[in-house]
Structure 1
Amino acid sequence: MWLSYGLLTLILAAGMVYSISARKLTVMAALTGAAVAILVFTGAGFTGLAMMTTFFILGSAATSVQSKTKDDLNADQKGGRTTGQVLANAGTAALCGVLILVLPAHADILQLMMAASFASATADTLSSELGMVYGKRFFNIITLKPDTRGLDGVVSAEGTLIGITGSVVIAVVYAIGMGWTTNLIWIIVAGTLGNLTDSVLGAVLERKGLINNNTVNFLNTLMAALFMGVFYIVFN
């Protein structure tokens, strides 16, 4: 137990130093991320931490791709991601970690819900950041009519496929740590549905200024977790 938390401390310290020095996160965001990571680790061990780390690495890499182009579209925030953005993307996972502590008998379903939330967060980040770079045709997810790249609720086939790949990566990380079962498929499906929910909310609510991007991101991870919960109850 103490050895595990000692290793966790070293990992978090290294991650915080890198995130702040590389301007991936603000100081407060790095501290918040560390707190979230502790909750995730407490609920799902090193598998949970591996999923969170994978999301951070892939998301940071995707954000860096042709960042100048995305700066022009107001899609990338300089100076590092904020506390609000950390909670928006990983808050649902942290909540699952807390619930596992309170309801240990339901750890199996809650760990899957955590995985689905990370799958959705990863899918959303990759599809948004890389879809703007590699997408060829952009359309409104509600009307299915051509629309402007970078606007809320606008997607591309390329970005959507990249997002699904992100969900697959998180599902594989979960399976490596927790076992290869059909739950891997449901994590991918739940993550993809969460990502699509993000686009719908963006088109319907965010574009009208009714909610902001952080709210959209939190809701997409929450919905992915809920989808996974339903899949677990129905198919297990």
Structure 2
Amino acid sequence: MGNSSLILCFVLLICAMLAVLTKKLTVSAAGLASCIGLLVFYAMGIKELLMLCLFFGLAVLATSHKKIDKARLLALSKHEETRGAGQVFANGGVAGLLAVLCLIDVSHTDVYKIMMVGSLAAALADTLSSELGTLYGRSFYNMLTFKHDIRGEDGVVSVEGTLIGLMASALMGIVYAGLNKVAVFIAIAGFLGNLFDSILGASLERKQYLGNNGVNFLNTLLGALMVLFFFC
């Protein structure tokens, strides 16, 4: 193991410890996040690892932003902020699996890398549209019926939250690829994944056929598959 790898392991360990101490992640979630980060780094590279860190950092900020106000708006005693291992896998599991594919199928590494960013774009779009849309949305609608619905319920969206999700996925695309068609594909993939998440929330999650983690995992999977569709 080279010096750069040792430094990376040390940095990830420190970040994991800080996440646990600040109650952003449980111990198991921090361990899983570190493993996914290391896997992405070794299979894909530092750029892709930084994209993973960008998602996590923005997700933490969005979750922490005005959490007391969100708890009040959602009529909860406390807005949940600490993420467990299931939530980490739901948002980053596809990235980890694509990293494994990179190691197995090295001839298509570039495609797997872009797919990974598409999955993160979908995850970030969902997180920011949910966390910030709850605060700044004015009217809320059921994604299936388009009728007014209760803020914070599964599958309920707002125009403001949807636009925030689009901007989030566009940010991931621009940071990764710059201003070109690759960034556009990533932005669209992330946006469509977010819409798919809301559709699943309004249908399968409300009927308790799927939990929130399952919905989020499928959201990120669709984001990755949409990028693959655009490049095939």
Q: Which interval holds the TM-score relative to the shorter structure?
A: over 0.9
Instruction: Give the unaligned 5+ runs of structure 2.
Output: none
Q: Which residue of 1 aligns with 2:103?
A: 101
Residue 138 of structure 2 is aligned to residue 136 of structure 1? yes
Contact 2:121–2:168 (8 Å) recurs in 1: yes
CA distance in structure 2 between the partners assigned to 1:161 and 1:81 by the alignment: 25
CA distance in structure 1 between the partners assigned to 2:7 and 2:185 by the alignment: 31
CA distance in structure 2 between the partners assigned to 1:171 and 1:86 by the alignment: 21
Task: Give a deviation string over 1:144-180, Cα, whole Å, max 9, x none.
Answer: 111110000000111011111111221122126xxx6
Residue 46 of structure 2 is aligned to residue 46 of structure 1? yes
Q: What percent of counterpart residues are identical?
A: 45
CA distance in structure 2 between the partners assigned to 1:116 and 1:88 by the alignment: 14
Contact 2:36–2:93 (8 Å) recurs in 1: yes
Q: Which residue of 1 aligns with 2:12?
A: 12
Contact 1:43–1:111 (8 Å) recurs in 2: no
Q: Which residue of 2 aligns with 1:229?
A: 228
CA distance in structure 1 between the partners assigned to 2:10 and 2:184 by the alignment: 33
Q: Quick one: structure 1 residues 28 and 111, their matched pair in 2 at CA, closer, same or farther if it must change by over 3 Å?
A: same
CA distance in structure 1 between the partners assigned to 2:217 and 2:201 by the alignment: 12
TM-score by length of structure 1 reads: 0.93
Matches within 5 A, 1:137-176: 137-175=139-177
CA distance in structure 1 between the partners assigned to 2:195 and 2:6 by the alignment: 38
Contact 1:50–1:173 (8 Å) recurs in 2: no
Q: Which residue of 2 aligns with 1:64?
A: 64
Per the TM alignment, residue 38 of structure 1 is displaced from its structure 2 partner at its CA by: 1.1
Contact 1:138–1:155 (8 Å) recurs in 2: yes
Task: Give a deviation string over 1:49-70, Cα, whole Å, max 9, x none.
Answer: 1111111111111111221233
CA distance in structure 1 between the partners assigned to 2:204 and 2:231 by the alignment: 29
CA distance in structure 1 between the partners assigned to 2:158 and 2:217 by the alignment: 22
Contact 2:9–2:38 (8 Å) recurs in 1: no
Residue 211 of structure 2 is aligned to residue 212 of structure 1? yes
Q: Which residue of 2 aligns with 1:90?
A: 92
Per the TM alignment, residue 8 of structure 1 is displaced from its structure 2 partner at its CA by: 1.5
Per the TM alignment, residue 106 of structure 1 is displaced from its structure 2 partner at its CA by: 0.5
CA distance in structure 2 between the partners assigned to 1:143 and 1:167 by the alignment: 25
CA distance in structure 2 between the partners assigned to 1:194 and 1:149 by the alignment: 20
Instruction: Give the unaligned 5+ runs of structure 1.
Output: none
CA distance in structure 2 between the partners assigned to 1:57 and 1:65 by the alignment: 12
Q: Which residue of 1 aligns with 2:29?
A: 29
CA RMSD in angstroms comes to: 1.5
Q: Describe the SS at the equivalent of 1:145.
A: coil
Contact 1:148–1:154 (8 Å) recurs in 2: yes
Give the counterpart letter for 2:93 in structure 1. G
Give the counterpart letter for 2:207 in structure 1. K
Per the TM alignment, residue 6 of structure 1 is displaced from its structure 2 partner at its CA by: 2.1
Task: Give a deviation string over 1:67-103, Cα, whole Å, max 9, x none.
Answer: 123335259425x210000000000000000000000
Give the counterpart letter for 2:186 in structure 1. I
Give the counterpart letter for 1:150 in structure 2. G
Per the TM alignment, residue 215 of structure 1 is displaced from its structure 2 partner at its CA by: 0.2
CA distance in structure 2 between the partners assigned to 1:42 and 1:187 by the alignment: 22
Q: Which residue of 2 aligns with 1:113?
A: 115
Contact 2:126–2:197 (8 Å) recurs in 1: yes
Contact 2:24–2:60 (8 Å) recurs in 1: yes
